Amino acid sequence: MKKLALFASGNGTNVQQISEYFIGRGEITVDCVVVNKQNIYVIERAKNLGIDCFYFTREDFYSTDKVLDLMKQRGIDYIILAGFLWLVPENLLKNYDHKIINIHPALLPSYGGKGMYGHHVHEAVIAAKEKQSGITIHYINEKYDSGDVIFQAKCDIKPTDTPEDLAASIHTLEKTYFPEIIERTVFLQTAIELAKSNVHSGKGGPFGAIITKDGKIIAQGTNSVTSTNDPTAHAEVNAIRNACKELNDFNLSGCEIYTSCEPCPMCLSAVYWARIDKIYYAGDQNDAARGGFDDSFIYKEIALDKNKRSIKSEQFLKEMGKEPFEEWNNKQDRIQY
């Protein structure tokens, strides 16, 4: 279970949406809300949601470890800035590297920086007669709106749109994407952490994968080729085997796989055979190639004429090869997959 702390400075619409999304989802829970102002509506929302809410002063944030201590004491894994308008202090940045996530109501790097928040952003975008705006979900660093971007989504702006119209479009995007992108980030980071720990365990290559269903992690897998003498024991294949065991089913429809690296052709095929709905991956083929795991040649081989592949394949006993299929097709109680 991963715990989120939501930091807010105002009305708390995002706090409401994130909290509601994760109720009953299983793997991620909103543990508490942290505010830097009194008498703001988000405090009321937290109360109604039954979530503990803590108020800290500027002094608490920037001159003490009180906030960090609270995060540690409650076992917080991620800090989500849900309309929080101050820079995050250094002690939190240091302890939550790539674990503090913000949403900005524009397409960064445009319309970001100090003073660019809420309606100020929308007014500037409309004044500049932009044709599009959107949201940027990004990690936090020591400067306003300049951490690594995780995700962006766009919306069109009509020539007649007012800043209020744009605000409404942005709210729709926030509601649609923010909770889901938080979840996706947590899941993919989990797969990447598995990959990193596998390097040090010595069990195999630097690959990790998890399989989820309805927001719950049902299985995980890491590469175990060298420790099990199994060249097919890639992270995704191991995760698929574990998920099938867990669900007692060979069909993983309704599941998603999060993998630290783009699947190789074998794993991609396994994902297809398992009927998994969607793949999320972090590193890609080029990253793998730099680690000595160049599978691009297999993709090229597949595209080649059979006779031109480096491993020769030859058809033999052609007629007899039809027999198992005839028997299969005649079997009344066969289990199709």
Residues that bind Zn ion (CB under 5 A): 234, 264, 266-267
* Closest to Zn ion by CB, 5 or 192: 192
Closest approach of Cβ 91 to Zn ion, in Å? 40
Residue 331 structure tokens: 């079997």
* Closest to Zn ion by CB, 55 or 273: 273
* Closest to Zn ion by CB, 100 or 239: 239
Closest approach of Cβ 263 to Zn ion, in Å? 6
**Cβ partners under 8 Å of residue 49, min gap 6:** 16, 19, 20, 30
Q: Is 236 a catalytic residue?
A: yes
Closest approach of Cβ 237 to Zn ion, in Å? 6
* Closest to Zn ion by CB, 17 or 285: 285
* Closest to Zn ion by CB, 22 or 281: 281
User: What are the angstrom distances between the C-alpha of 14 and each of 6, 152, 263?
Assistant: 9, 17, 34
Residue 211 structure tokens: 């399989």
d(CA 196, CA 198): 5
Closest approach of Cβ 288 to Zn ion, in Å? 9
d(CA 319, CA 322): 6
**Cβ partners under 8 Å of residue 83, min gap 6:** 8, 9, 10, 11, 12, 13, 14, 15, 42, 118
d(CA 330, CA 101): 57
Other Cβ atoms within 10 Å of 30 Cβ, number: 24
d(CA 138, CA 98): 9
Closest approach of Cβ 236 to Zn ion, in Å? 6
Q: Which of 236, 246, 262, 327 is catalytic?
A: 236
Could you list the active site residues? Answer: 236
